[in-house]
Amino acid sequence: MTQRVFPVPNVLKSTTRVDLQTYQNLYRRSLEEPESFWREQARILDWVKPFTTVKKTHYSPDNVTIEWFADGALNACFNCLDRHARERGDDVAILWEADTPGETRRVTWSDLQQEVSRLANALERLGVNKGDFVSVYLPVVPEAIAAMLACARIGAVHSVVFSGFSSEALAGRIEDCRSRVLITADEGMRAGKHVPLKKNADAALQNLPFVEHVLVVRRTGRDVPMTPGRDRWYDEALAEVSAECPPVEVGAEDPLFVLYTSGSTGKPKGMLHTTGGYLVHAATSFRAMFDYRPGDIHFCTADVGWVTAHTYLIYGPLANGATIVLFEGVPTWPDASRWWQIIETYRVNIFYTAPTAIRSLMREGEAPVRKHDLSSLRVMGSVGEPINPEAWLWYHEIVGGGRCPIIDTYWQTETGAVLLCPLPGATDLKPGSAAKPFFGVRPALLNSDGAPVDGEGSGNLCFGDSWPGQARTILGDRERFLKTYFTTFPGYYFTGDGARRDADGYYWITGRLDDVINVSGHRLGTVEVETALASHASVAEAAVVGMPHEIKGQGIFAFVTLKDGVIESDELRRELVQIVRTRIGPIATPDRIEWAPQLPKNRSGKILRRILTRIAAGDFENHGDTSTVADPAVVAEIVRRVQVSA
């Protein structure tokens, strides 16, 4: 496929704050004079106490230090709420759309301010102090945002746990941060089904006697058991306290939240984020990467349990005073037009989602999209995985009508906010590439000896200096933090991902380094092979892993999901082998192709290649840490098929 380039649309060029020239100048300045650059950027926030030093950061092996704006003080909740409530309290902050079509709520800035203040007072009554951890196990409802902001208001540290997680996963995450207070709901709603949150929470708390209080939001109103002395209804606790609660002064380096990585490669890590740097990075990058303009309606589809929601559904947008759409449900229920209908209803301008969702909606065809007027969209984003060009083009043409730039944002729970992305008014787009570094970000590709690869080439994706949103540690495990990110390549932050830099300086993520396959001494990224497979018209999605091979060391095992209605055949297998040979070369020829009705994914939709690797090696029992697998039945079905055809 010849590489297509999508130039910046003319209308954006003339209206944007950041055009190509501005990006290049600012980027250069951000590297040459980081202190003055970030000092200026930090004005996006209101500070209680101005900082004097901007950055104190070292990555040397014997001294890893990450501090930003360290002697300044601020309150994240004030920045995301009070300053907007003061100016325009009656404007809408949250447009909530429930799982059930037709059920909606509009929350104004002053509504939210009152609710957050009451909850903050209620938490203080329960003995929550500055620095204490509070766990949150809620569906995507306005109360989840209130819970996060209420913690921030009093300097407590929130730990949001995805409401799709089991009681064991919840228990592990509560135990890890030892929170004494949990905020949950009677139930959640997902695709018309009731999710027993309180029941899961009760099971999780069975062996966690240190949890003293549980606040329960009434979401569905169904009867749930309440443990006297421990459990209280959220609304009753809020009714008893005042709606005024002044935000406390919080040091820039005081923690704001802990959040666990999604566990694609192993046991989730509790990443600890602090207040000042995180919020500066979240707010400035939200504004730049989506070309945010006052009055825009922003719709990010991430669940509140993921970092994407923390930074680009909640903190980044709210710090900018953006109106957000908060959607509780799933894109395919009651039918595959749900998101498109929401975009039409609320006249959404900025839309941010993940490739896995785009691919699943692509399988449903164009009709559900075409039914709706999506002309309000201006910018669309992608996050979580490399987006294969077929999905990119569909998103761009069918959803965005060919008008909207696709902002492919590369970042991690650890990075807090974006590191690589195009900017709408500045960067020509190449489908599948996360383009260029964000301000202040120094990417480096290192070969296995740790030497930097200059110009065109591939290597281990690392970053040569800190950025404000960076996680400061793994909660309770500084050793693991240093070992995971700073030891492999001394002097650099190591992402664990591989990347390629093309002749124009664009970055292409080639996959997780844990997943690199070594075929007869050639290192192949999984993404490349998967992209080739997915370019076949019959393929919906593919996952590629290594398998033991007597001669080659490792062979290539491909798990392929076909589009609806396509019939599995050996003929199709041969075509797929051919397409990989043509696009990459004979070295990448799959040794085995197995049809998979679905691929095993974690709850945020990422393919769990580590499980497929074990299956490909003939190990059908031990899948490692499976607490993050979304649907165990998918794994069982793949095991069955592989065993039958072995």
Binding region for ATP: 384-386, 497, 512, 523
Sequence ranges of the binding site:
190-193, 308, 384-386, 497, 512, 520, 523, 536, 539, 581
Pattern 260-279, binding to Mg ion, x per CB under 5 A? -x------------------
203 within 8 A of 229, measured Cβ to Cβ: no
We find the least distance from the C-beta atom of residue 268 to ligand ATP, in angstroms, to be 5
Sequence ranges of the binding site for Mg(2+):
536, 539
Question: Within 234-263, which residues bind ligand ATP (CB under 6 A)?
Answer: 261-263
User: β-pairing, 443-446 with 379-383?
Assistant: unpaired
164 within 8 A of 251, measured Cβ to Cβ: no
Kindly tell me the burial class for residue 375, based on how many C-beta atoms sit within 10 Å of its own C-beta (0-12, 13-18, 19 or more). exposed
Locate 345 and state its tokens.
Answer: 């209803």
Question: Within 470-499, which residues bind ligand ATP (CB under 6 A)?
Answer: 495-497
Q: Is 386 in the site for ligand ATP (CB under 6 A)?
A: yes
Decide whether 184 or 261 has the Cβ nearer to Mg ion.
Answer: 261
Question: Within 411-470, which residues bind ligand ATP (CB under 6 A)?
Answer: 411-413, 434
Number of residues that bind ligand ATP (CB under 6 A): 25
Contact partner at residue 351 from Mg ion, ligand ATP, none, CB < 5 to 8 Å by partner kind: none
Query: What are the CB-based long-range contacts (under 8 Å, 24+) for 220-226?
Result: 220/186, 220/187, 220/189, 220/194, 221/186, 222/186, 222/187, 222/194, 224/186, 224/187, 224/196, 224/198, 224/199, 225/198
Return the HEC string of 121-180: HHHHHCCCCCCCEEEEECCCCHHHHHHHHHHHHHCCEEEECCCCCCHHHHHHHHHHHCCC
Which part of the chain contacts Mg ion (CB under 5 A), choosing from 117-125, 224-232, 258-266, 520-528?
258-266
Phi-psi sector, 540: left (phi>0), alpha (psi -120 to 50), beta: alpha
Question: Which residue type sits at 341?
Answer: Q
We find the least distance from the C-beta atom of residue 144 to Mg ion, in angstroms, to be 23
We find the least distance from the C-beta atom of residue 307 to ligand ATP, in angstroms, to be 6
We find the least distance from the C-beta atom of residue 480 to Mg ion, in angstroms, to be 13
Nearest one of 142, 162, 160 to 151, comparing CA atoms: 160
Contact partner at residue 352 from ligand ATP, Mg ion, none, CB < 5 to 8 Å by partner kind: none
Q: Is 408 in the site for ligand ATP (CB under 6 A)?
A: yes
Q: What are the helix (H) ranges across 231-275?
A: 234-239
- Sign of the dihedral through C-alpha 330, 336, 340, 345: negative
- Coil, strand or helix at 297: strand
Number of residues that bind Mg ion (CB under 5 A): 1
Locate 484 and state its tokens.
Answer: 């995971």
Decide whether 261 or 301 has the Cβ nearer to Mg ion.
Answer: 261
- Considering only residues 69, 137, 315, 410, which one is a binding residue for ligand ATP as defined by CB under 6 A? 410
Half-sphere exposure (CA, 13 Å, Cβ side) for 209?
0
We find the least distance from the C-beta atom of residue 513 to ligand ATP, in angstroms, to be 9
Contact partner at residue 386 from Mg ion, ligand ATP, none, CB < 5 to 8 Å by partner kind: ligand ATP
Q: Is 509 in the site for ligand ATP (CB under 6 A)?
A: yes
What is the rounded distance in angstroms from the CA atom of residue 167 to the CA atom of residue 176? 14
Pattern 597-616, binding to ligand ATP, x per CB under 6 A? ---------x----------
Decide whether 271 or 616 has the Cβ nearer to ligand ATP.
Answer: 271
Q: Is 265 in the site for ligand ATP (CB under 6 A)?
A: yes
Which positions touch ligand ATP (CB under 6 A)? Answer: 261-266, 268-269, 383-386, 408-413, 434, 495-497, 509, 512, 606
Which positions touch Mg ion (CB under 5 A)? Answer: 261
